[in-house]
Structure formats: structure tokens, C-alpha cells
């Protein structure tokens, strides 16, 4: 009995529903279909996961099955679309969204991988930073140690040079009033030289000094000290060298060793000069100013003036920032921060550079400054113009007053 | 005598014009009705079929009220022969129009009820037009009601 009631209710609803369906306007069916399609399209757009998209897949299928009885009506009514094309469009939209999620998944996987890689690199960077800091500490320690070693070496060379110079000096016994050595003194000089192996020590001392110069980058003070030492050494050798040559020649001995010593002294002198120019050039290079090689005052002046000339000529084609940066690197950071105060006095004192060359360079620098910062000249013109105008105004305002006074004073009282 | 001559002449011309070129069969039916809102000036516009006309006289005919078209919508459909069937909510009639020289001319006025049609809808049921009125349905042609459920 109960089952019969349930079946009756279902049948009633089915028939009523069918009746409603049959009585439905085609227009409403089409509008209802369009509304459902729009809803599905919106759901596709709003879906935020593949799981949610899977539900929409079922929704599309249900939509199709719901409206398949009206396919013919919809084919006629959905101009310019039709039933199948509408579902193809929905499927395409669905597929695109699915591809988006697939791509997002792939990208998410890549991001995860990259995150792991970043973590690994971060750890590696930390390790490297620690190693770098340790190496920095070690390097600082080593540099300090090296500087101490250089200082010790310099000091040792200085002591050894002094001993060798004393040795040479001691060979020179007081001579007669005419400065000529007696045969006995000459014999004594020769035997002492041979006995003390003096020539070997001199040659060794000069060569060691040359090696020291080549191995280190020296500052003006160091070079000044080395130059004094070299000149002192050369002066002492000059007092005994010619006599030694004469003695060796008189006794038929080879004078090659003596000539080698002369050449070594000459090389020492040249190396010192070369070291000066190398140090100056490296000072520029340290501030990213790349100059051509130079090994004399003339070459130095020519290189500097050519460099500045090129910069002045190229100032118009470069941007202001670049021109100013180059000027600042050269002039402010190098020329006036080291070369002018440290090296120029040394170069001038040692006749390695003329005052004329120095002036030439400074004129070029002033010209460069005018090119880079032309505003200064304009201000000067403005100040001059203001002064001239003020003088003219003063002149014209003073003159009439005097005339009036003259007229008044000339009137009869 | 003269009118007879004129009549024969006109009939002759008509027959000659018709017999010169005829394209048939032709189907003017719309797949579904269109539901159009009446503008404040009494006009309706159907974009898909490029139809535009004034409804004021039809509302005046139906309601005898010159402002009855305000805030109303009409339902319109065209049958295979090219007749337009128009009605609106609470209308008693369905108006059948034919096109003539840039105008919609009343072909037939089909009375459906005396109490007003509630929520009417047209369906294309070739060769007829179906009028749905709630659960009631009427099959219409340009001549009138063909059958009712």
C-alpha cells in the first residue's frame, strides 16, 4: 500500500513536470539554456583548483543531457552558435583553464625546486662567506707579515749595503797630498779587495737592490731612501772603482767584473727611475684611469696631456655623468689626492720633471674643468656684468647732482 | 464599362508580375519568439531580425488607452508564411500582421480570452504558431485558432 502511494506521488510529479515542460515556452528554454551556459562559463573562470574543475566537467555533461531533447530548437535559436558549438566553446574554455592549472602545477613544482636550490645556495653562500672572512683574516695577516718581511728585507739590505760601503771605505787608506796612491798602497788595496772578496759583495749588493725594486711597489719616501742609498753607494764605488780598474789592467787581470759592477750601478739607477714611473702609473690605474706607458718626464707629460685632450674632445659626445665621473676620478681622486702632493715634489726635486711640464699639465686640467663644469664661467660673466652695470648707474646718477650744485652756486646771492 | 476595363487591366498586370518570377518555397519562420521591451516612445527593436516598429496603435486598439504601452513588453514571432504574431501580457487577442509597403498591416485579430492572457508565449510549431498560456496551448494560423488544448 505504502509503495503504491510513493509510486503514485512520483508518477504525479513526473506527469506534472512533463506537463510543465511541454507547456514551456521555447523562448524560456533557450533563455534557460543560455543562462546555464553562462553559469558554467563563470564557474570555469572562478575555479581555483583542478578538483573544482572536475566538478564543472560533470556540470557540463549534465547541461548537455538536460538540453539534448531541445537540441534542434537550440540549433535554430542560438544564432550564430548552435548546440554543439556551444559545448565545444565550453570544452575549450574548460581545457584552457585546465591547462592553466597544469601549468600552475608545473610552475609550483619548479618554484619548489628553485626554493630548494635557493636554500642550498644560501647555505653554500654562508659557507663561502665564512671561508672568505677566514681567508680575509688570513690574507690580512699574510699581508701584514709580508709588509714586515719587506721591511726586514729592506732593513737587512740597508745594513748589508752599509757594511759593503764601510768595507770599500776601509780599503781607502789616507793618500798623499796629490791624492795619488803609492805602489805600496795600491798593492795593499788590491790584496784587501781580493782577500775580502769585495767585488763579489758589491755586485751582489747592487743586484739584490735591483731585485728588491722589481719585487715591490714603492712609495715616494721608499724611493727617496733607495735613491740616496744608491747615490751614496755609487759615490763610494766611484772613489775606488777607477783605481781598481787601473790596478787590474796593470797586472794583466780581467776587468770584466769591474765593468759588470759599473753596468749594475747603471741598471740600479735606471730601475729606480722606472719604478717611479710604474708606481705613478699604478696610482692612476688604482682609480680606474688607464694611461699609456711612460718612462720619462716628457713622456709622462705627453701621455697626460693627450689623455686630457681626448677627454675634452669627447666631452660633447658623452653624457654629463660619465664626463664628470672621469674628471673626478682623474683630477680629484688621483691628481690632487696623490700625484700632486706626493710624487710631483719628488719628480721635480730629482729633475725627472720640469716646472714647465707641470704647468702644461695644470693648464690642461684647468681647461678640462672648464669643459666639464662650464657654469663657473657664466657666473663670472654675470658678476662682471653686474659690476659694470652698477658702475654705469653710479656714474649717471652722480653727474646731474654736480651740475645742479654748480648752477646753484653760480647764481648771484 | 470603364471600371471593368480598369479592373481587367490591373488583374492582367498583377498576374503578369507574379508569373514573371516566383521564388518558392519560402520560409519566413523565426525559430523562437522574441520578447521586446517597448521604449518610452512606443517603439520596439529586434536586433537579430532587424525589425523596428511603433506599437502605440496596437496598445490603443487593445486597451483603448493611449499610454498603455508604457513599461510593457511584447512577444512576437513570425510564421513560415511571413505573418507576424504579436501579443502581450493581459492582452485578450493575438494580432496578426503582414508586411505591406514598409508598414505592418493588421491581417487578423485572434481573440484568445476575454480576461486577458496570462504570461503568454509563442512557439514555432510549423505550419502553426503555438500560443502557450500557462498550461493552455493554442495552435494559431493567420486565419485564427486551429486547435486548443
| Element (DSSP H or E) covering residue A5 | helix A2-23
Q: Which of B32, B132, B137 sits opposite A30 (nearest CB)?
A: B32
Phi-psi region of B144 (alpha: psi -120 to 50; beta: other; left: phi over 0): left
Angle at CA of residue A73, ends A67 and A74, nearest 5°: 60
**Domain assignment of residue B73, yes or no:** yes
Question: Is B122–A25 a contact, with Cβ atoms under 8 angstroms apart?
Answer: yes
Residue B32 contacts A, CB cutoff 8 Å: yes
Cell of B86: 504579436
Cis peptide leading into residue A90 (ω within 30°) = no
Measure the CA–CA gap between A381 and A392, rounded to whole angstroms: 16
Q: What is the DSSP secondary structure assignment for residue A391, as one 8-state letter?
A: H
Measure the CA–CA gap between A389 and B132, rounded to whole angstroms: 102
- Domain total in chain B: 1
**Domain assignment of residue B12, yes or no:** no
Indicate the average pLDDT of chain B.
89
Q: Which of A20, A26, A79 sits opposite B123 (nearest CB)?
A: A26
Question: Is B33–A19 a contact, with Cβ atoms under 8 angstroms apart?
Answer: no
| CB-based contacts of B138, cutoff 8 Å, min separation 6 | B112, B130, B131, B145, B147, B148, B149
Segments in A196-354 forming alpha helices (H): 198-215, 220-250, 256-286, 297-314, 320-327, 344-349
- Closest Cα to residue A219, out of A266, A271, A275, A269? A275
**pLDDT tens, N- to C-terminus, chain A (413 residues):** 445 545 544 544 444 444 444 567 899 999 999 999 999 999 999 988 888 888 999 999 999 999 999 999 999 888 888 999 999 999 999 999 888 888 887 887 888 888 888 888 888 888 887 887 888 788 778 778 877 887 788 788 888 777 877 777 776 655 544 556 677 777 777 777 777 777 788 888 888 888 888 777 777 788 888 888 888 888 888 877 777 777 777 777 767 777 888 888 888 888 888 888 888 888 888 888 888 889 888 899 999 999 998 888 888 787 788 888 888 889 888 888 888 888 888 888 888 888 888 898 989 898 888 888 876 556 667 788 888 888 888 888 775 554 444 444 444 43
Residue B94: strand pairing partners: B110
Q: Which residue of A has its CA nearest to B75?
A: A27
pLDDT score recorded for residue B134: 84
| Whole-prediction pTM | 0.45
Residue B123 contacts A, CB cutoff 8 Å: yes
pLDDT for residue B85 is more than 90: yes
Question: Is A77–B31 a contact, with Cβ atoms under 8 angstroms apart?
Answer: yes
pLDDT for residue B21 is more than 70: yes
pLDDT for residue B11 is more than 80: no
Measure the CA–CA gap between B132 and A141, rounded to whole angstroms: 102
Instruction: Read off the pLDDT of residues B31-77 as tens digits, 9 standing for 90 and up.
Output: 999 999 999 999 999 999 999 999 999 999 999 999 999 999 999 99
Q: From the centroid of its chain, how far is CA A413? A: 88
Q: Is the ipTM of this complex over 0.95?
A: no
pLDDT score recorded for residue B18: 53
Q: Is A74 exposed, middle or buried (0-12, 13-18, 19+ CB in 10 A)?
A: buried
A92 in helix, strand or coil? Answer: helix
**pLDDT band at residue B105 under the 50/70/90 scheme:** very high
Residues of B whose CB is below 8 A from A19: 135
pLDDT score recorded for residue A239: 77
Question: Is B134–A73 a contact, with Cβ atoms under 8 angstroms apart?
Answer: no
- Closest Cα to residue A153, out of A220, A230, A222? A222
Q: What is the DSSP secondary structure assignment for residue A69, as one 8-state letter?
A: G
Q: Are A54 and A106 in contact (CB under 8 A)?
A: no
Measure the CA–CA gap between A31 and A379, rounded to whole angstroms: 81
pLDDT for residue B79 is more than 90: yes
Residues of B whose CB is below 8 A from A27: 32-35, 75, 121-123
Q: Which residue of B has its CA nearest to A29?
A: B32
Q: Which residue of A has its CA nearest to B124?
A: A26
Question: Is B123–A25 a contact, with Cβ atoms under 8 angstroms apart?
Answer: yes
Angle at CA of residue A46, ends A42 and A51, nearest 5°: 115
B13 to chain A, closest Cα gap in Å: 39
Residue B86: strand pairing partners: B76, B95
Question: Is A77–B134 a contact, with Cβ atoms under 8 angstroms apart?
Answer: no
Q: What is the DSSP secondary structure assignment for residue A328, as one 8-state letter?
A: I
One DSSP character per residue, B41-108 reads TSEEEETTTTEEEE-HHHHHHHHS-TTTTTT-EEEEEE-TTS-EEEEETT-SEEEEEEEETTEEEEEE
Question: Is B135–A19 a contact, with Cβ atoms under 8 angstroms apart?
Answer: yes
Segments in A287-374 forming alpha helices (H): 297-314, 320-327, 344-349, 355-372
| Host domain of residue B101 | 23-145
| CB-based contacts of A167, cutoff 8 Å, min separation 6 | A196, A198, A201
Amino acid at each position: 500500500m505504502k509503495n503504491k502511494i510513493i509510486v503514485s506521488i512520483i508518477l504525479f510529479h513526473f506527469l506534472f513536470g512533463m506537463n510543465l515542460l511541454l507547456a514551456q515556452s521555447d523562448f524560456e528554454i533557450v533563455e534557460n539554456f543560455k543562462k546555464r551556459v553562462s553559469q558554467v562559463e563563470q564557474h570555469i573562470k572562478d575555479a581555483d583548483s583542478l578538483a573544482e574543475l572536475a566538478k564543472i566537467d560533470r556540470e557540463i555533461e549534465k547541461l548537455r543531457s538536460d538540453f539534448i531533447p531541445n537540441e534542434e530548437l537550440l540549433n535554430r535559436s542560438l544564432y550564430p552558435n548552435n548546440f554543439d558549438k556551444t559545448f565545444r566553446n565550453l570544452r575549450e574554455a574548460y581545457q584552457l583553464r585546465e591547462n592553466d592549472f597544469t601549468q600552475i602545477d608545473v610552475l609550483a613544482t619548479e618554484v619548489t625546486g628553485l626554493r630548494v636550490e635557493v636554500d642550498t645556495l644560501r647555505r653554500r653562500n654562508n659557507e663561502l662567506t665564512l671561508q672568505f672572512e677566514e681567508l680575509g683574516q688570513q690574507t690580512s695577516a699574510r699581508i701584514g707579515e709580508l709588509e714586515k718581511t719587506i721591511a726586514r728585507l729592506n732593513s737587512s739590505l740597508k745594513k748589508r749595503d752599509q757594511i759593503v760601503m764601510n768595507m770599500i771605505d776601509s780599503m781607502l787608506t789616507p793618500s798623499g797630498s796629490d791624492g795619488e796612491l803609492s805602489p805600496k798602497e795600491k798593492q795593499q788595496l788590491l790584496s784587501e779587495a781580493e782577500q775580502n772578496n769585495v767585488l763579489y759583495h758589491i755586485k751582489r749588493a747592487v743586484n739584490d737592490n735591483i731585485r728588491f725594486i722589481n719585487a715591490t711597489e714603492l712609495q715616494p719616501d721608499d724611493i727617496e731612501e733607495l735613491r740616496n742609498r744608491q747615490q751614496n753607494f755609487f759615490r763610494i764605488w766611484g772613489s775606488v772603482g777607477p783605481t781598481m780598474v787601473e790596478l787590474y789592467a796593470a797586472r794583466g787581470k780581467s776587468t770584466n767584473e769591474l765593468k759588470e759592477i759599473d753596468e749594475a750601478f747603471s741598471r740600479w739607477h735606471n730601475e729606480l727611475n722606472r719604478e717611479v714611473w710604474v708606481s705613478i702609473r699604478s696610482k692612476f690605474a688604482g682609480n680606474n684611469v688607464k694611461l699609456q706607458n711612460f718612462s720619462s718626464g716628457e713622456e709622462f707629460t705627453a701621455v697626460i696631456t693627450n689623455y686630457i685632450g681626448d677627454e675634452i674632445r669627447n666631452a660633447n659626445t658623452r653624457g654629463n655623468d660619465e664626463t664628470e665621473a672621469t674628471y673626478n676620478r682623474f683630477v680629484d681622486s688621483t691628481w690632487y689626492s696623490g700625484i700632486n702632493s706626493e710624487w710631483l715634489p719628488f719628480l721635480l726635486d730629482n729633475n725627472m720633471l720640469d716646472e714647465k711640464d707641470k704647468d702644461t699639465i695644470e693648464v690642461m686640467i684647468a681647461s678640462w674643468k672648464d669643459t666639464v663644469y662650464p657654469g663657473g664661467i657664466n657666473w663670472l660673466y654675470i658678476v662682471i656684468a653686474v659690476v659694470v652695470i652698477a658702475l654705469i648707474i653710479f656714474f649717471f646718477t652722480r653727474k646731474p647732482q654736480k651740475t645742479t650744485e654748480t648752477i646753484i652756486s653760480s647764481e648771484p646771492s | 464599362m470603364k471600371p471593368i476595363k480598369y479592373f481587367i487591366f490591373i488583374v492582367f498586370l498583377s498576374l503578369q508580375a507574379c508569373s514573371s518570377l516566383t521564388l518558392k518555397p519560402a520560409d519566413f519562420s523565426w525559430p523562437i519568439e522574441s520578447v521586446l521591451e517597448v521604449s518610452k516612445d512606443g517603439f520596439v527593436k529586434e536586433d537579430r531580425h532587424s525589425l523596428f516598429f511603433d506599437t502605440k496603435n496596437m496598445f490603443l486598439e487593445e486597451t483603448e488607452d493611449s499610454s498603455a504601452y508604457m513599461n510593457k513588453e511584447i512577444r512576437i514571432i513570425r510564421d513560415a508564411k511571413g505573418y507576424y504574431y504579436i501579443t502581450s501580457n493581459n492582452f485578450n487577442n493575438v494580432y496578426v500582421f503582414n508586411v505591406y509597403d514598409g508598414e505592418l498591416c493588421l491581417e487578423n485579430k485572434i481573440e484568445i480570452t476575454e480576461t486577458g492572457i496570462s504570461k503568454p508565449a509563442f512557439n514555432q510549431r510549423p505550419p502553426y504558431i503555438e500560443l502557450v498560456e500557462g498550461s493552455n496551448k493554442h495552435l494559431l494560423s493567420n486565419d485564427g485558432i486551429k486547435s486548443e488544448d
